[in-house]
Amino acid sequence: MPDPTAPAVERIGQRIHETRLLRGYSLRELGKRATVSAAQLSRVESGARYATPTVVAAVARALNVSVSVLYGQPYIKMLQADQLDRLLTPISAALDAWDIPPAPGDPPPRPLAVLEDDVKSIAHMSRSSSYLEVARQLPGLIGEINHATLLLHQAGRDRERAHWLQADIGRWAYGVARRIGYPDIARHASARMAAAAPHSGDPVQGAIERWDRSQLMIDAGRHDLGLRLVRQALHDLDDDPSTGGQAMRGSLYLRAAILERRGGNAGAATDWLKEAGQLAKRTGELPDHGLVFGPANVVIHTMSVETDRDQHAKALESAAGLRLPSDYPPERAGAYWVSKARAEAWSAQSDAALNSLLTARKVAPQRTRYHPGAHETVGTLLRARPRPSEELRAFAEWCGV
pLDDT along the chain (401 residues), means of 10: 48 87 92 91 83 82 81 66 77 92 90 97 92 92 95 92 97 91 90 95 94 90 92 91 94 96 89 97 90 94 89 93 91 94 93 96 92 88 86 92 78
CATH of 205-324, one of 3.30.300, 1.25.40, 1.10.3470, 1.20.120: 1.25.40
- CA–CA gap between residue 175 and residue 190 (Å, rounded): 9
Going 95 to 98 to 104 to 105, the CA torsion angle's sign is positive
pLDDT of 258: 93
- CA–CA gap between residue 316 and residue 343 (Å, rounded): 7
Domain edges within the chain: 1-72, 73-201, 205-324, 329-401
Helix (H, G, I), strand (E, B) or coil at 135: helix
Q: Could you tell me the pTM of the whole model?
A: 0.85
pLDDT of 29: 94
User: Hey, do 1-72 and 329-401 end up sharing a CATH topology, with the first three levels equal?
Assistant: no
Helix 85-96 and helix 183-196: axis angle, to 10°?
Answer: 30
- CA–CA gap between residue 98 and residue 210 (Å, rounded): 20
- CA–CA gap between residue 68 and residue 295 (Å, rounded): 33
Task: Give the CATH number of domain 329-401.
Answer: 1.25.40
Fold of 1-72: 434 Repressor (Amino-terminal Domain) (1.10.260)
